[in-house]
């Protein structure tokens, strides 16, 4: 049985996933990390959790937080980031510019790629840097 919480997919399998597929998975990984972070930092009510989560996972907020980590990405991570940024989404949310949405998609693709490899330590390292004020 596959353990979907602790993946370590083969590189050949990961390479067959589209940029938007990686971003789709990475979006869920990032949102789960944000929700966990919020719960551990004292957000108590469901309404407060939802509002805070929406704030952190919105494309403009993700694009801004990417600046905290881009300089420490490895060359391979930068390549995945670029792949995600160059993906062609079908639509862009009204609250984000094209550049913000591309940066958010790139971040999500990177998080999806790291998750599929089981690189949870690296995910946690990048996430912690992103959440620093």
Which positions are annotated as active-site residues? Answer: 27
Nearest to 29 by CA among 96, 129, 112: 112
3-class SS at 131?
Answer: helix
The model's pLDDT over 83-114, given as tens digits with 9 standing for 90+, comes to: 999 987 777 778 889 899 999 999 999 999 99
Spatial neighbors of 91 by CB under 8 A, at least 6 apart, are: none
In angstroms, the Cα distances linking 63 to 67, 81, 133 are 7, 12, 15
d(CA 47, CA 36): 15
Question: Which residues, 6+ apart, have CB-to-CB distance to 13 below 8 Å?
Answer: 116
Q: Distances in Å between the alpha carbon of 117 and those of 9, 85, 121?
A: 5, 20, 11
Instruction: Encode pLDDT of 30-55 as tens digits.
Output: 999 999 999 888 776 777 888 889 89
pTM score, two decimals? 0.92
């Amino acid at each position: 049985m596959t353990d979907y919480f602790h993946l370590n997919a083969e590189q050949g399998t990961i390479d067959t996933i589209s940029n938007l597929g990686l971003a789709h998975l990475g979006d869920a990984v990032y949102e789960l990390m944000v929700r966990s972070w919020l719960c551990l930092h004292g957000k108590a009510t469901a309404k407060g959790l939802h509002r805070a989560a929406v704030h952190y996972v919105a494309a403009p907020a993700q694009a801004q937080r990417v600046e905290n980590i881009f300089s420490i990405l490895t060359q391979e991570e930068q390549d995945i980031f670029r792949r995600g940024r160059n993906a062609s989404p079908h639509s862009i949310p009204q609250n984000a510019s094209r550049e913000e949405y591309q940066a958010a998609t790139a971040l999500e693709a990177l998080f999806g790629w790291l998750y599929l490899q089981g690189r949870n330590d690296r995910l946690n390292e990048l996430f912690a840097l992103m959440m620093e004020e």
